[in-house]
């Protein structure tokens, strides 16, 4: 059945149906295992030993993916891809299966236009370093012929696009830790503008290598709680002292509500709005008072046609840095005001670590699940809420969300001043 | 002419190497007279990777002008037989 006629441009503010969810994280190799572990308060952070370039050993806190992508993908695919693309492919495969499109190209109706949008933060850093080592030690003949494709930031998006036959377009937003969320915002735009019928969108990151860990450490951005890995990432807690690097990928399948209905797809929820701003203030610090983030939140609510009082759940970016969490809380206060007392705020980086370019996408998956399951996941490390943070932060247990139509917002921020917010709802 | 046992061993090692290099290819699909391009889907990029893998595994150099003459699995085995010892070490 051809559904192409339904890909016409749709009105500004139209929603997209979320029909597929995929994720691979420090808590599990798929969405169900991640969600179950998150609700039960498990934490994916570990203390890991790394070999430094001078041969010495050094420990860092990290939240590595729980399931090795090599156990899911063919050996050839693994050898052709940086780990960031491997994780993206694992999550994309799950999302497509979940959407009832397991065979990719062959399962779409004729004429269906498909797009892929997969963001990254650090991208193929691990492969770049590995190939450079080979070049240093053995010369040109020692590096893989795929060196260039795997070091390009669009590598994961290109691989996902190849897998799904994304002939409509393939994009790679690179906005540091907002990349995954920006990918989903772009997907909404693609559906609204009628450029594709189905968009496979998300983010990925696999950069747990000494250079990245040391770089964030030099920025004083990482938690120093090496004696307490499971308590190190503590968003909004009074004793937070920095984030923990994680790795993973999150992918959603979105399509116009009409297209989803026409093919009888199960709908998890709706992507109802998105807002993007930039602080233009500092390369690595948020604007004072969270003004840029607040602007993105306002744009998102406007785009989704939501009043603050209509939002029951917020997935906060909240990386566990002293300044970032406070700034985000201030932004939320500016936008939601007294409505915050009825909004359950979750911060999954407590359990997943900060997955940089994947974070916004993984958390979009979790936000859709929170609405669908009417349950806000807990912040597993929350002991003592920072008195300066006036939010209803969920923890130590999960918090039920009310009956009736639900709406949620997920925030993402990134170095370079990026602010992205996404709005989701149970109803179109 | 390679002894049959050596030919068999090289064939099995090449089956593994090809399956690890070419997507959606199993070892069972790799036969002695398979054409790299037409039967196994070894495109120009995959050929570069295959050559790199062969060079790694047998610690030999395969100039591209020689590699481009290797059209079948059997031809690779014959080539390997001329540049490796029966024990599989580079001669």
The answer to whether A80 contacts chain B (CB < 8 Å) is: yes
Range A125-129 average pLDDT: 97
Rounded to whole angstroms, how far apart are CA atoms A58 and A81?
27
* Contact state of B45 with A145 under an 8 Å Cβ cutoff: yes
What backbone torsions phi and psi does residue A271 show, to the nearest 5 degrees?
-90, 110
Judge: A75–B25 Cβ closer than 8 Å, yes or no.
Answer: no
Q: What backbone phi and psi angles, to 5 degrees, belong to A58?
A: -145, 140
Among the candidates A262, A294, A313, a domain finishes at: A262
Asked whether residue A268 is assigned to any structural domain, the reply reads no
Mean pLDDT confidence for A327-347: 98
A247: in domain: yes
Cross-chain residue pair A146–B20, CB shorter than 8 Å = no
Average pLDDT over residues A289-303: 97
In this structure, the answer to whether residues A138 and A277 fall within a common structural domain is: no
Question: Taking CB atoms and an 8 Å cutoff, what residues of chain B touch A79?
Answer: 20-21, 49
Give yes or no: A195 in active site.
no
Among the listed residues A171, A268, A313, A317, the single catalytic one is A317
Q: How far is CA A340 from the centre of its chain?
A: 23
The answer to whether residues A419 and A340 belong to one domain is yes
Distance CA B1, CA B76 (A): 13
Taking a C-beta distance cutoff of 8 angstroms, is the pair B76, B70 a contact?
Answer: yes
Identify whether residues A117 and A237 lie together within a single domain: yes
Active site includes A259?
Answer: no
Q: Out of A171, A268, A354, A418, pick the active-site residue.
A: A354
Q: Are A161 and A170 in contact (CB under 8 A)?
A: yes
Q: Which two tokens stand for residue A73?
A: 């993908």
Give pLDDT tens digits for A225-263. Answer: 999 999 999 999 999 999 999 999 999 999 999 999 999
What pLDDT score was predicted for residue A6?
47
Rounded to the nearest 10 degrees, the angle between the axes of helix A83-98 and helix A155-164 is 30
Give the other-Cβ count within 10 Å of B45's Cβ.
Answer: 12
Q: Map A172-190 to HEC letters.
A: CCCCHHHHHHHHHHHHHHH
Average predicted confidence (pLDDT) for chain A: 95
Specify the pLDDT at position A3.
Answer: 46
CA atoms within 13 A on the CB side of A277: 20
Inter-chain CB proximity B48 and A145 less than 8 Å: yes
Q: Are residues A253 and A312 in the same domain?
A: no
The span from the CA of A399 to the CA of A377, in Å, is 7
Domain that holds residue A106: 16-262
Same domain, A40 and A123: yes
A110 Cβ under 8 Å from any chain B Cβ: no
Interface residue A105 vs chain B (CB under 8 A): no
Sign, CA dihedral A256-A248-A205-A75, equals negative
Q: Note whether A196 and A328 are same-domain residues.
A: no
Chain A contact for B20, CB < 8 A?
yes
What per-residue confidence (pLDDT) applies to B89? 52
In angstroms, the CA A185 to CA A15 distance is 11
Say if residue A61 is in the same domain as residue A133: yes
Specify whether A125 is located in the same domain as A196. Answer: yes
Q: Does the pLDDT value for residue A110 go beyond 90?
A: no
pLDDT, one tens digit per residue, over A154-210 is 999 999 999 999 999 999 999 999 999 999 999 999 999 999 999 999 999 999 999
Are the CB atoms for A316 and A392 separated by under 8 Å? no
How far apart are the CA of A145 and the nearest CA of chain B, in angstroms? 6
Looking at chain B, which residue has its C-alpha nearest residue A138? B56
- Helices within A193-290 (DSSP H only): 210-218, 257-262
* CATH code, domain carrying A165: 3.40.47.10
d(CA A174, CA A216): 18
In angstroms, the separation between the Cα of residue B30 and the nearest Cα of chain A is 14
Q: Give chain A's domain count.
A: 2
> How many angstroms separate the CA of residue B75 from the nearest CA in chain A?
22
Pairing of strands A198-205, A248-256: antiparallel
Contact call for A74 and B24, based on CB within 8 A: yes
User: CA B33 → CA A26, B22, B36, distances in Å?
Assistant: 45, 17, 9
Domain B4-82 belongs to what topology? 1.10.1200
Catalytic residue status for A317: yes
d(CA A71, CA A219): 35
pLDDT band for A111, please (50, 70, 90 cuts): confident
Same domain, A56 and A197: yes
- Overall size of chain B counted in residues: 91
A219 shares its domain with A334: no
Show the tokens assigned to B31: 């036969």
- What is the per-residue pLDDT for A355? 98
| Residue A8 counted as domain residue | no
State residue A196's pLDDT score.
96
Residue A7 lies in a domain: no
Q: Choose, from A81, A177, A293, A380, the residue flagged as catalytic.
A: A177
Strands A418-425 and A169-171 turn out to be unpaired
Residue of chain B whose alpha carbon sits nearest to that of A143: B52
Torsional sign, CA A62, A395, A323, A173: positive
Residue in B17, B20, B66 to test binding to A, most A beta-carbons within 10 Å: B20
The answer on A247 and A367 residing in a single domain is no
Cβ-nearest to B20 among A75, A141, A144? A75
Are A257 and A365 in a shared domain? no
Question: Does residue A123 fall inside a structural domain?
Answer: yes
- In angstroms, the CA A167 to CA A200 distance is 12
- Could you write out the DSSP letters of every residue in A346-367? E-THHHH-B-GGGHHHHHHHHH
pLDDT at B85: 61
Least confident of A2-16, A107-121, A316-330, A385-399: A2-16
pLDDT at A2: 43
Residue A67 inside a domain? The answer is: yes
The residues spanned by each domain of chain B are 4-82
- What's the pLDDT band for A102 if we cut at 50, 70, 90? confident
Instruction: Tell if the CB–CB gap between A75 and B55 is shorter than 8 Å.
Output: no
pLDDT along chain B (91 residues), means of 10: 87 94 91 94 90 92 90 94 65 46
The pLDDT-based confidence of A5 (bands split at 50, 70, 90) is very low
């Amino acid at each position: 059945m051809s559904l192409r006629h339904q890909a016409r441009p749709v009105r500004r503010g139209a929603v997209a149906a979320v029909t597929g969810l995929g994720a691979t994280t420090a808590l599990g190799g798929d969405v169900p295992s991640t969600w179950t572990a998150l609700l039960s308060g498990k934490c994916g952070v570990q203390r890991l030993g790394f070999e430094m370039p001078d041969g010495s050993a050094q420990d860092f806190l990290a939240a590595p993916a729980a399931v090795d992508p090599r156990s899911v993908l063919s050996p050839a695919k693994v050898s052709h891809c940086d780990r960031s693309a491997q994780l993206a492919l694992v999550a994309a495969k799950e999302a497509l299966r979940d959407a009832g499109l397991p065979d990719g190209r062959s399962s779409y109706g004729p004429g269906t236009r498909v797009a892929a949008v997969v963001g990254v933060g650090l991208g193929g850093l691990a492969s770049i370093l590995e190939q450079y080592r080979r070049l240093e030690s053995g010369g040109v003949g020692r590096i893989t012929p795929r060196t260039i494709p795997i070091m390009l930031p669009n590598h994961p998006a290109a691989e996902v696009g190849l897998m799904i036959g994304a002939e409509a377009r393939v994009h790679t937003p690179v906005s540091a830790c907002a990349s995954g969320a920006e990918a989903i915002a772009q997907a909404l735009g693609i559906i609204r503008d009628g450029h594709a019928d189905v968009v496979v969108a998300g983010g990925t990151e696999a950069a747990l290598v000494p250079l990245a860990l040391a770089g964030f450490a030099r920025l004083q951005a990482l938690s120093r709680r090496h004696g307490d890995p499971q308590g190190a990432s503590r968003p909004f807690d009074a004793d937070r002292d920095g984030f923990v690097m994680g790795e993973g990928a999150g992918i959603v399948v979105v399509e116009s509500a009409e297209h989803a209905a026409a093919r009888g797809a199960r709908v998890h929820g709706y992507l109802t709005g998105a807002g993007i701003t930039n602080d233009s203030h500092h390369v690595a610090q948020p604007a004072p008072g969270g003004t840029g983030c607040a602007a993105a939140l306002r744009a998102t609510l406007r785009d989704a046609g939501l009043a603050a009082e209509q939002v029951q759940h917020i997935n906060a970016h909240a990386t566990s840095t002293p300044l970032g969490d406070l700034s985000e809380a201030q932004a939320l206060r500016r936008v939601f005001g007294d409505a915050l007392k009825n909004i359950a705020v979750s911060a999954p980086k407590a359990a997943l670590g900060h997955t940089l370019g994947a974070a916004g996408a993984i958390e979009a998956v979790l936000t859709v699940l929170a609405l669908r399951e009417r349950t806000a996941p807990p912040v597993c490390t929350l002991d003592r809420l920072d008195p300066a943070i006036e939010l209803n932060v969920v923890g130590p247990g999960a918090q039920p969300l009310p009956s009736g139509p639900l709406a949620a917002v997920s925030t993402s921020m990134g170095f370079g001043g990026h602010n992205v917010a996404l709005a989701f709802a149970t109803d179109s | 002419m390679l002894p049959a046992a050596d030919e068999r061993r090289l064939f099995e090692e090449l089956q593994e190497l090809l399956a690890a290099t070419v997507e959606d290819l199993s070892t069972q699909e790799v036969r002695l007279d398979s054409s790299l391009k037409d039967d196994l889907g070894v495109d120009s990029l995959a050929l570069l990777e295959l050559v790199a893998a062969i060079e790694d595994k047998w610690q030999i150099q395969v100039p591209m002008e020689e590699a481009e003459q290797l059209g079948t699995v059997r031809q690779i085995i014959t080539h390997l037989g001329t540049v490796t010892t029966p024990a599989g070490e580079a001669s």
